[in-house]
Chain A
């Protein structure tokens, strides 16, 4: 059995009387793909934002590799190895595609304001290796041809891929994916699923929030189903699919086309 990478205990989030997430506990094991699904308003995004550090939990705790991370700001969590993508894309549109990935390697770099201004030999070398590593990533994701164009000129699907590449550039331990298939046509969504599966085969641990049931069912080792901020089921695709509460929560619609 592999070790626990992320652990969430008793996590609760209330907004002005509404309880978005209620007393939720679960784990993500190292090397697994875990998906969180649920109908609209189930609390998936709130949960995701609490793990990423955008929303403060009202109660409960989040641990990464045994260390408590819920009091930390977003950038500190990134430093500890949590990378994320965004449902509604947060790329640096005015920067080039390559620069976007190089920003993703921010944590790998060592240049300080002073050494950067002096452009010491170490900074020069760092710039070269960063650009090379960035290009290698872009090649892997099929964006090398667009490396020097502004990221804002990419198609929506390419931006989603770029955001994934940027998240990976910092060599994270846990990848949080916020609806990676949302807005993508079938073929591109399938390719995205393949990409995620490939990353996981190379050892990446993934926590995924997704509406696309096809993707969730085909990818995930473990699925957590939320409804009204509470866990109603957790288990493999088959277990979740036949769970009566899940069926009633979805009114039997979406799960069927999986």
Chain B
């Protein structure tokens, strides 16, 4: 059932500290990222950095579910949308602050996952993928048809930005620290979870359900918890997205982005902690690079993904290990 490899080298929880610990690396990466607004040439680039960090929350949370939990979800963009619309509608229709909208978005997306998870997680592999795909399609219908609430195909307009002490975080530069901090907290929460009995149970269920049940792990409950948690994190990303862009429209949360997110988990390296960082960079940057090729854009994107996954089945995060292996082979 676990279609995506879990790479043990990435997750040696109690391994002797040979090099920098995973925590140390995370902090280091985030300190480097903090310099982005000062180094990037203009606001457009900073907007891409914000988008990349939001994408990172999406890909990292999906990686928790797929890479570590062994479950395939094709509804991740749908949960992203649930969070975006929940936070956006609360703000536009009821004047509720984005700061309240953020946890509300997590809650709504989590509930959306609970609703489909209870029946769907009894299914395995392809059936679960299809059930979640159907759920995403239904959500898009809601986003499009509930015009009074969502604005329908025209999108949800007039969403307020986050504000701090009466000061609106309404430019790319001003909002960056918040997106940066939330993305860090999500990554930290995932790392902490993986290094606990809960995270080990998640991975155990993914690798061997029979063995997991034998040591007292309720595999269904474990799958449900990680599914709901992953969706709640996508909801957080949705809330950030809607208040950063001050707008949301249904096509952002459709099946196509759900599939792309899943591919990005694989491209980055499913079941590796830092793989999603690479996945998020690719997901955000490649469309920009290919902008000039217009119609050929998707085709080139697809081709590139095929090449990466054929050459490096472990994703981009697996490249150093793959090269080391190749060198060893040559040496021996």
Give A residues with C-beta under 8 Å from B.
Answer: 52-54, 73-75, 78-79, 83-84, 86, 90-96, 98-99, 102-107, 109, 111-113, 116-119, 123, 126-127, 130-131, 134, 147-148, 150, 166-167, 169-170
Contact = CB atoms under 8 A, between A and B. Distances in A.
Contact of A148 (B15, B192, B212, B216): B15
A99 B208 contact: no
B8 A95 contact: yes
B22 interface: no
Contacts of B219: 75
Interface residues of B, number: 37
Nearest to B14: A131
Given A52-B214, A75-B212, A90-B208, 11 more contacts: A75-B218, A92-B212, A94-B7, A95-B200, A96-B12, A102-B14, A105-B197, A117-B193, A126-B197, A127-B13, A148-B12
Contact of A111 (B197, B203, B212, B225): B197
A102 B12 contact: no
Interface string B270-289: 00000000000000000000
Contacts of A74: 213-214
B207 A95 contact: yes
B214 A90 contact: yes
B196 A170 contact: no
B197 A90 contact: no
Interface string B1-12: 000011110011
Given A95-B8, A113-B193, A113-B225, A106 B215 contact: yes
Nearest to B198: A116
Interface of B is mostly: helix
Contacts of A96: 8, 12-15
Interface string B214-252: 111111000001000100000000000000000000000
B231 to A, nearest CB: 13
Contacts of A73: 213, 218
B204 interface: yes
A170 B5 contact: no
A52 B16 CA distance: 36
28 contacts: A75-B212, A75-B214, A78-B214, A79-B216, A90-B214, A92-B204, A92-B211, A93-B207, A93-B208, A96-B8, A99-B11, A102-B14, A102-B200, A103-B197, A103-B212, A105-B197, A107-B215, A111-B196, A111-B198, A113-B198, A113-B229, A116-B198, A118-B192, A119-B195, A123-B196, A148-B16, A170-B215, A170-B216
Contacts of A91: 208, 211
Contacts of B193: 113, 116-117
A80 to B, nearest CB: 9
